[in-house]
Structure 1
Amino acid sequence: MKSKLAMRHRAWSILAAGILFQGLVTGIMQNCMGVLYAAICQDLGFSMGSLSLFSSIRGISMAIAMPVTISYLTKKNFRKRQAAFAAAAVFCFMVMAVFHHLWQWYVLAVFSGAAGSAVMIVPTMRQMNHWFIRRRSFAIGLVAASTGLFGAIGNPICSWLTDAFGWRTAILALGIFILATAVPLAYFQMDLRPEDCNTKPYGWYEQPEEKKQAAIPTAYRRPQLVFAFCLLLVSTTGLLSQYNSHLATFGVSQGLALSAGASITACAMLGNVFFKVILGALGDRKGVYTQLTTGLLFSASCFLTFFLVPLFPNLIYLGGFLNGAGMAVGATTVADITPLLYTGQEYERKYSRLFALGGFVGFVGFSCIGYSYDLFGSYYPSFAAGLMICALAGLSMVMLRKESKEQIL
């Protein structure tokens, strides 16, 4: 009887809505940009570094706006406000179809980042933390995986639309589709907390009282150092997720057609789905520490595989698939570790700050990858940097676990 009630819990419909919503607004609008960047650069003569700066400015705007927009979003009328922000984010995406000059992208980046800060990943991850006590890592992994699944489907479609009708028509077509699906979904379905529906989180009834008390983080001897190592971990894993949008251009630099380059990105999206689901399940069974360690090892293997591409060209698709591990740890680290380290109002504050600051570093890194390619004519220096980032992320995780009294298990 209890299992039937568990399966009918509203948390599962919230999870389904979160999967669809993030798949649309992040999986398509964000993860298909690599194909569009390559087409825009070819058509308008921009360098990859200069257009990548658009994403960096948008990321900085997102980081600055996020504490304000998330606070405004979660106070009341969550569904209505998220629907409004989703409509604004889609409009910012669609307006690119009429641009001809680089400065237009830079101005748009400010508004696009502000709108995107209220819809991309963070609010839905917070929903999962509110709605799930049991199977939380799995739920977070599924939501994060949806961005990869929709990206894997959307990249070939985006490439086909671009080849057949041009990148401007592709942007308009994708934007209209997202507007017609994501906005109604947010407005009618996505409640922030169980209390909004007069219910309790999934799994709370199965949790013994002593486990509830053990789940509350303890006081730290050096809380500033805990936050510093947490920020370093979030920033480094965030950097690993920034390579995805450069994979299509990496394929073109290896002599492949744009459509083949889009296939590498699609492989990354499939890897994104695979690793988010697998790592989420691993986190539920073995703990977040094992989950992140495994993800970082696969991320490092991605860069090592790319170094073998000149000798074995077909390995480029395997490397793309393994790149999904970096996207997985980058997307889920904040959501996985913050509830283990903080609770109550402290959790609410730290979550937004960590995501914003980590995102700031990540998006700056995104344009650095593009400028590195412009400078060296190759992505291999940035791949070498990726290996060092994996090592630094692993070190920060070990130190964070030590300083937090092994709260991250």
Structure 2
Amino acid sequence: MSESNKKIHYAWWVLLGVCIFVGLGKGALNNVASLFLTPITEDLGVGMGELTLYFSVSAVITMVFLPIGGKLMAKFNTRLVLIVAVILQAGAFALFGVMQSVWGWYLMAIPLAVGGVFITVIAGPVLINQWFKKKNGLALGILSAAGGAVGAIAQPVVGGLIAGQGWRTSYFIVGLAVMIIAVPIIFLIVRQSPEEMGLQPYGMEETEQGGNDKHESGEQGVTMAAAKKSSAFYLLVVFFFFVTSIASFSMHIPTYLINKGFDVTFAGNVMGLFMTGVLVGSLVIGMMIDKIGSRNTALFTMVIGILAICMLLFLTYGFFSIGLAVGLLGVVSASIGTLGPALTTALFGNKEYSQIYSTASLGLAISSIVALPAYGFIYDFTGSYTTALYAILIMFICNIACVIAAFKGKNKLQQKGFWTSNEV
């Protein structure tokens, strides 16, 4: 083994940087937003529904800007784009602290969402896809787990800040802290591609030694134009929509359990198992992708989800059965950050990955607008979540069909000559 092979590949340093700034964007900005809602409504005298409408504004902006964001990531310097994105997202978050009317939240939701498109949706999968030829799934799993870990730390810290300093000061402190940490990390660590440093992606050397054409490494797959003519692309959008809709049910789990006769303490303990499922699932799914491929991992994960829903429908006897079911749903939720990017790579390669992934992610954005309130309306009209659980069961079955059909669509792309190499 040569001396160079003993060194840590720079891809792992990029992953570390990505875990930090994506974790901050998700865990220290997006995930703590709910902690501010009650003190704001009490202080400003506005309704909860009136205030939380800014989440819908953010979701709509995300949906509109996702395809644009993918093109910008492909066209401009990655570090510059991400630094601007952090300033937009964290800066808007900080400015919430000076707003006197709910219209301020509606207005600031625009830069918050535009920056978040890059930081929380596109950047991680795109950079990992560029830097990792081998252990791509593990890297995605680590990234997903890091987001959950940062969120677990940020929640009590921000809660304490709000209690001690008030919501206005807390907005300002958190937003500034994210910028102060994330901007230097992006500037010092993140590089657009291995070629920029005269390197190859992690694991490329082993691929070449295995007999593959070394010239294929940079431009495998199909163009965005070809992808959009394929059934595989639209099936992937549907998969994104359904898997995000399924994960959105987690917000209703405490209400579901209380409706079943359990107390708040029981619900809190069960939600702890949900977060455990997210953290463990992120790593396990990532490793499975590397071992058995994204197709088989996706099918396995959907079957796990079906088992979880069946347990919630028919085996709600106590903490063990309910906790296991909710923990398995946590594993499914973790798949959003791992299976989505991995399936995109497997189906369409990396030739125009950022454009394809960001556009397919419209399924995620649309689901964020539709699914969460839909579960609430089902509960309001029926008095329970039973209908919602059956709907989720159908979504899992549809996703299995989508994955199988999408890979058949990929085979058609290859047969027509749009794909430039063998399967990822």
Query: TM-score under structure 2 normalisation?
Result: 0.81
1:109-148 residue pairs with structure 2 within 5 A? 109-148=109-148
Report what 1:341 is aligned to.
347
CA contact (8 A) 1:222 1:403 kept: no
Find the aligned partners of 1:131 and 1:242 in 2 and give their Cα distance. 30
1:351 shift after superposition: 1.9
Cα offset for 1:299?
A: 2.9
Residue 210, structure 1, aligned to residue 212, structure 2 = yes
1:66 maps to 66
Change in 2 beyond 3 A, CA 1:182/1:306: farther
Task: Give the stretch that moved more between structures: 112-121 or 290-299.
Answer: 290-299
Higher mean C-alpha displacement, 262-271 vs 131-140? 262-271
Which structure 2 residues correspond to residues 117-266 of structure 1 after superposition, within 5 A?
Answer: 117-161=117-161, 168=168, 170-207=170-207, 208-210=210-212, 216-217=220-221, 223-247=229-253, 256=263, 265-266=271-272
Cα drift, residue 121 of structure 1: 3.1
Compared CA separation, residues 346 and 173, structure 1 to 2 (3 A): closer
Structure 1 unmatched runs, 5+: none
Q: For 1:26, give the aligned amino acid.
A: K
- 1:31: how far off? 2.9
Return the offset for 1:107.
Answer: 3.5
Q: Within 2, Cα distance between the matches of 1:105 and 1:221?
A: 37
Distance 2:322 2:157 in 1: 21
Q: How does 1:49-128 map to 2 (within 5 A)?
A: 53-98=53-98, 102-128=102-128
Instruction: Please state if 1:356 is matched with 2:392.
Output: no
Task: Give the direction of change, closer, same or farther, for the CA distance of 1:203–1:62 in structure 2 (3 Å limit).
Answer: same
Find the aligned partners of 1:209 and 1:308 in 2 and give their Cα distance. 52
Match of 1:297 in 2: 303
**1:173/1:143 Cα in 2 relative to 1: closer, same or farther (>3 Å)?**
same
The 1:221/1:51 distance shift into structure 2, 3 A limit, reads closer
Residue number among 389, 406, 422 corresponding to 1:400 in the alignment: 406
- 1:215-256 superposed Cα distances (whole Å, 9 cap, x missing partner): 955899995322222221122122223234445666776675
CA contact under 8 A between 1:148 and 1:270: conserved in structure 2?
no
Q: Secondary structure at the match of 1:118?
A: helix
Structure 1 residue 127 displacement after superposition: 0.4
**Distance in 2 (alpha carbons) for counterparts of 1:317 and 1:239:** 21
CA distance in 1, matches of 2:18, 2:120: 11
Distance 1:108 1:222 in 2: 33
CA deviation after TM superposition for structure 1 residue 161, in Å: 4.6
| Correspondences of 1:356-395 after superposition (within 5 Å) | 356-376=362-382, 378-395=384-401
Indicate if the aligned counterparts of 2:73 and 2:81 stay in contact, CA closer than 8 A: yes
CA deviations on 1:240-284 (whole Å, 9 max, x unpaired) are: 232344456667766755x88666555433321210100110111
Rate the CA distance shift 1:102–1:86 in 2: closer, same or farther, 3 A. Answer: same
What is the letter of the counterpart of residue 193 of structure 2? R
The percentage of counterpart residues that share the same residue type is 20
Residue 285 (structure 1) aligned with residue 287 (structure 2): no
Aligned partner letter, 1:56: S
Report SS of the residue matched to 2:336.
helix
Write the distance in 1 (CA, Å) between the matches of 2:177 and 2:227.
51
**What CA distance in whole angstroms lies between the structure 2 residues aligned with 1:368 and 1:266?**
24
Instruction: Report if aligned partners of 1:137, 1:283 keep a CA contact under 8 Å in 2.
Output: yes
Amino acid in the other structure paired with 1:236: F
- What amino acid is the match of 2:77? N
Supply the AA of the counterpart residue of 1:364: V
Aligned 8 A contact 1:151 1:266 in 2:
no
Deviation at 1:60, TM superposition (A): 2.1
Question: Could you state the TM-score of these two structures normalised by the residue count of structure 1?
Answer: 0.83
- Residues 35 and 248 of structure 1 are in contact (CA less than 8 Å); yes or no, is this contact kept in structure 2? no
List runs of 5+ in structure 2 lacking aligned partners: 413-421
1:330 paired to 2:332: no
CA contact (8 A) 1:235 1:357 kept: yes
Instruction: Please give the alpha-carbon distance, in whole angstroms, between the structure 2 residues aligned to 1:67 and 1:158.
Output: 32
Question: How large is the Cα RMSD of the aligned pairs?
Answer: 3.7
Deviation of the 1:32 alpha carbon: 3.4
Q: Which is further off, 291-300 or 240-249? A: 240-249
Q: 1:222 to 1:353 in 2, by over 3 A?
A: closer
Greater alpha carbon shift after TM alignment, 280-289 vs 248-257: 248-257
CA distance in 1, matches of 2:292, 2:184: 38
Partner of 2:417: none
CA deviations over 1:283-330 (Å, ceiling 9, x no partner): 111111221122223333444454579642676654543332232222
Rounded to whole Å, the distance in 2 between the matches of 1:191 and 1:277 is 24
